[in-house]
Amino acid sequence: MSRHRRRSIARSVALGVAAGAALTVAPVATAADPMAHAARTLNITEHADLNLTRRSGSTLWHTGTATGTLPGTVSARFEMTLTKVTGSVTIRPRSGGSLTINVVGYAQSTGVNARFTGNMAVRKGTGRYKNAVGSGTFDGTVNRRTFDATVTAKAKLTY
């Protein structure tokens, strides 16, 4: 067998193996699709009690607990400029995974217990919430002596 012929056969075998592998993989992938969970949509109502853990200039860090649809722990970082609050909140439900949410809120009153309201959107997730998307609203109060806060959030989450 000429060298050219041997190379041609080798190439054909290689292509055949590759094609076979592709065919072998393809049914697995097809079979995997039904196993992938269908997108779920949840209407979430969460209540969080947040305690100040750190403060630096106009930045506040909180940790706390969440009760409601996804009970678990919460950590948050907020930037406060005058009456506007921006930041990110990470919820770690006891059932696993995590959700990181961007928030933008505005103060609605002054006083020791200042009210605020705002909007939020899911930025990223891990575990079962890896591909989560969603948005919602929140309102709450912050104690301006301790900067502890309570927040109630309502959102629609698809994951």
Partner 1 sequence: MRMLRFGAAMLVVIAATPAASAADAAQQTPARLDVSFDHDAKPGQPTALNIALRIDLRRQPSPVTTVSLRYPATIGVTTSGLGIEPCERPPSDFEAVVIELTSRLGCPRNSVMGIGTAIGQIRMDGTAISREVGTISVHSGPLVGQRLQLVTLVTGMNPIGARLAFAGEVRPAHKPYGGDLTLRIRPLPSSWHASIALSEVDLAIGSPVIVYHDRTGRSAVRYRPEGIQLPHRCPRAGFRFAMSLRFADGRHLTTKAARPMPNVRDIDAPAIR
Q: Are 50 and 66 in contact (CB under 8 A)?
A: no
- Which one of the spans 4-12, 28-36, 65-73, 77-85 is the region binding partner 1 (CB under 8 A)? 77-85
The answer to the question of residue 117 lying near partner 1 (CB under 8 A) is: no
The helix (run of H) or strand (run of E) holding residue 97 is: none
Q: Which range binds partner 1 by CB under 8 A, 24-32, 41-49, 76-84, 125-133?
A: 76-84
Q: How far is the CB of 79 from partner 1 (least distance, A)?
A: 8
Cα angle 112, 116, 138 (rounded to 5 degrees) comes to 140
Residue 65 makes contact with partner 1 by CB under 8 A:
no
The CA–CA distances, whole Å, from 18 to 26, 27, 31, 32 equal 12, 15, 20, 20
Q: Which of 7, 55, 130, 156 binds partner 1 (CB under 8 A)?
A: 55
Interatomic CA distance for residues 15 and 10, integer angstroms: 9
In the 3-class helix/strand/coil scheme, how is 143-155 assigned residue by residue?
ECCCCCEEEEEEE
- Choose the stretch contacting partner 1; rule: CB under 8 A; options: 14-22, 38-46, 56-64, 88-96: 56-64
Applying CB under 8 A, which of residues 6, 7, 11, 84 lies at the interface with partner 1? 84
The distance of closest approach from Cβ of residue 44 to partner 1 in the complex, given in angstroms and rounded to an integer, is: 28
Contact between 60 and partner 1 (CB under 8 A)?
Answer: yes
Question: Which H/E stretch holds residue 89?
Answer: strand 84-93
Q: If binding is defined by CB under 8 A, does position 107 make contact with partner 1?
A: yes
Which residues on adjacent β-strands are paired with residue 62? 52, 76
